[in-house]
């Protein structure tokens, strides 16, 4: 929220970008809203404590004042004060994943039925973003395009939403093409890095059926790979790279 922005403007800006079926959890309030229509929300959950109860009244007034309606007929009260911060985080993640299951294409096909592993990462360049400290930074904007298997519509997703739908595995692998070479970068886990280094340094012998014998190329990633701009989640990682040469007739 910038200094010139009122809470109403801030809320309106967030809500306009929220997809239908998308979850909105304003930070620190203990409230979870889902967008249900053009100008309507449903309050799904409220933390069962006085802070969240007061926030709920304030938010209701604020949302009404900007022309949004809130359905509060089926609110679940969550007893979170007994949970550790980690358990609270896990619970929020489960809620977000559940809400992602309900996202649909305009033709009715659930986004979970799309070939998510074929998602294409693109950037629209840099955008000015106001930080909570009111300082303005340049941030790269990325989105992932997925294609409906039924009606062929291309749906652009925010990277975070894509991660919710496609799962962690999709976020540890990234494919792209430079010239006629098709690369797949796969992030290594810590045990894998240790194994690779031990083999490299001669502390461990490579087994014939070892997965690394087929992926001998290990790299640390920066911003680019062979001149290709990497999306932020692939940068600063230890990856194995596999390359396939695309033959002319396949193009």
Burial 122-143 (b: 16+ CB within 10 A, else e): eeeeeeeeeeeeeeeeeeeebb
In 3D, which of 19, 75, 88 has the Cα closest to residue 44? 75
Which of 14, 77, 107, 243 touches Zn ion (CB under 5 A)? 107
Q: Does 139 bind Zn ion (CB under 5 A)?
A: no
Interface with Zn ion (CB under 5 A), residue total: 7
Q: Does 194 bind Zn ion (CB under 5 A)?
A: no
**232-162-177-181 Cα dihedral, nearest 10 degrees:** 100
How far is residue 160 from each of residues 147, 192, 201, measured CA to CA in Å?
17, 26, 38
Q: Does 60 bind Zn ion (CB under 5 A)?
A: no
Contact between 179 and 227 under an 8 Å Cβ cutoff? The reply is: no
- Of the candidate spans 102-110, 119-127, 165-173, 174-182, the one that interacts with Zn ion by CB under 5 A turns out to be 102-110
In this structure, the strands spanning 40-47 and 76-78 are parallel
Question: In the complex with Zn ion, which residue's Cβ is closer, 22 or 30?
Answer: 22
Distance of alpha carbon 45 from alpha carbon 42, whole angstroms:
9
Which of 60, 109, 184, 221 touches Zn ion (CB under 5 A)? 109
As given in the structure block, the two tokens for residue 121 are 């990462």
Q: Smallest distance, Å, CB 112 to Zn ion?
A: 13
- Of the candidate spans 41-49, 148-156, 188-196, 198-206, the one that interacts with Zn ion by CB under 5 A turns out to be 148-156
- Of the candidate spans 8-16, 150-158, 205-213, 233-241, the one that interacts with Zn ion by CB under 5 A turns out to be 150-158
Q: Does 157 bind Zn ion (CB under 5 A)?
A: no
Q: Does 80 bind Zn ion (CB under 5 A)?
A: no
Q: Does 146 bind Zn ion (CB under 5 A)?
A: no
- Interface residues with Zn ion (CB under 5 A)? 105, 107, 109, 148, 150-151, 153
């Amino acid at each position: 929220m910038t200094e010139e922005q009122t809470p109403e403007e801030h809320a309106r800006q967030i809500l306009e970008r929220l997809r239908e079926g998308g979850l909105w959890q304003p930070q620190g309030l203990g409230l979870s809203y889902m967008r249900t229509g053009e100008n309507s929300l449903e309050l799904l959950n409220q933390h069962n404590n006085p802070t969240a109860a007061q926030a709920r009244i304030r938010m209701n007034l604020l949302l009404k004042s900007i022309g949004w309606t809130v359905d509060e007929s089926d609110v679940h009260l969550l007893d979170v004060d007994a949970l550790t911060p980690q358990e609270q985080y896990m619970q929020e993640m489960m809620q977000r994943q559940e809400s992602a299951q309900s996202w649909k294409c305009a033709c009715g096909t659930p986004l979970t039925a799309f070939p998510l592993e074929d998602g294409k990462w693109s950037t629209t360049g840099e955008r000015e973003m106001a930080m909570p400290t009111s300082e303005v930074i340049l941030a790269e904007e990325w989105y992932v395009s997925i294609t409906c298997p039924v009606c062929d519509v291309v749906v652009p997703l925010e990277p975070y939403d894509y991660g919710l739908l496609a799962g962690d595995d999709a976020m540890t692998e990234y494919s792209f093409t430079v010239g006629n070479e098709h690369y797949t970068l796969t992030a290594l886990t810590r045990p894998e890095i240790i194994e690779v280094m031990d083999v490299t340094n001669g502390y461990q012998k490579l087994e014939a059926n070892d997965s690394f014998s087929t992926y001998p190329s290990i790299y640390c990633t920066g911003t680019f790979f062979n001149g290709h701009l990497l999306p932020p989640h692939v940068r600063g990682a230890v990856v194995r790279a596999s390359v396939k040469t695309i033959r002319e007739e396949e193009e």
